[in-house]
Amino acid sequence: MNNLIDGRAIAADIHQETLVRVSALKHRGVQPGLAFIRVGEDPASQVYVGMKEKKALELGILSHTTVLPEKTTQAELLALIARLNADPLCHGILVQAPLPRHMDSAVIYSAVLPGKDVDGFHPVNVGRLMLGDAGGFLPCTPAGVHELLVRSRVPLQGAEVVVLGRGNIVGKPMASILIQKSPRANCTVTLCHSATRDIAAHCRRADILIAAMGMPEFLRADMVRDGAVVIDVGVNRISDSSRPTGTRLVGDVAFAEVQPKCLWITPNPGGVGPMTIAMLLANTVTAAERQT
């Protein structure tokens, strides 16, 4: 079925727009700078940071990764963030999750200056999102989902949206973006979570379903109405004896059975993932534009 929302293609369009903005900054003598901080050797974090660095290089964004040992103290990490906050050549700072258990992530993310918080996790940026203040930074994954919907011309005005998951990284900001009084939003949003009664009934009412629960193939065909738009944010590793690794990655949507019912649906991979990187680098260029 030809009802896939191609996240790679839409991300490529955004990267092209970002490239033009980077060029304009360079004509003014400014090269956008992005600092990555990774604590420990989490394999997934290594891959994610590597992908972000590669794309930054392609777009002419100067990026640098500092890798700290797992045993790094919170005070040492805060000291590094303070140095980057004071560095005029560093316009954006990303502290890669997850952090070691002995660190308080809320304290760490709050230490990044709001103007350099290109991940959109600082309480000031969270507050600006809630208030509809465009002067902050949106978290990259929900901002990417929003762009997927807008650029795919999915009708949002008055749409019934169900967001599955109330996490701080996707669920809550996703709902906040879509309820704003804006031509690009104005949705009616239901935020479902582990204590929601009869989640399936809520889902069947939705024009747009956004699955971000972190539960493998949670959304099944009988939970989706005909003609719905489904966005799969989940990334889950499950056992699969037929694969050489013994595992495979799946989303939060049972794709094969849900796709035939959808007007539009994101593949996984190739849907939301590329958009997260695109929005991060766009945020970095915005930070450079504002700071200079």
Cβ–Cβ < 8 Å for 185, 143: no
Residue 247 pLDDT class (50, 70, 90 cuts): confident
Tell me if residue 42 is catalytic. no
**Do 93 and 182 belong to one domain?**
no
Cβ–Cβ < 8 Å for 289, 25: yes
Residue 241 pLDDT class (50, 70, 90 cuts): confident
pLDDT for 246: 85
The active-site residue out of 52, 55, 116, 172 is 52
pLDDT at residue 1 tops 80: no
Looking at the 3D structure of the chain, how many domains does it have? 2
The CATH number that applies at residue 250 is 3.40.50.720
pLDDT at residue 242 tops 90: no
Region 58-87: mean pLDDT is 97
pLDDT for 259: 98
The CATH number that applies at residue 90 is 3.40.50.10860
Tell me if residue 6 is catalytic. no
Give domain status of residue 73, yes or no: yes
User: Residue 198 sits in which domain range?
Assistant: 140-274
The whole model's pTM is what?
Answer: 0.95
The active-site residue out of 96, 116, 207, 232 is 96
pLDDT at residue 18 tops 80: yes
**Do 108 and 167 belong to one domain?**
no
**Do 148 and 90 belong to one domain?**
no
The active-site residue out of 55, 116, 119, 207 is 119
**Do 162 and 200 belong to one domain?**
yes
**Do 196 and 91 belong to one domain?**
no
Tell me if residue 96 is catalytic. yes
**Do 107 and 224 belong to one domain?**
no
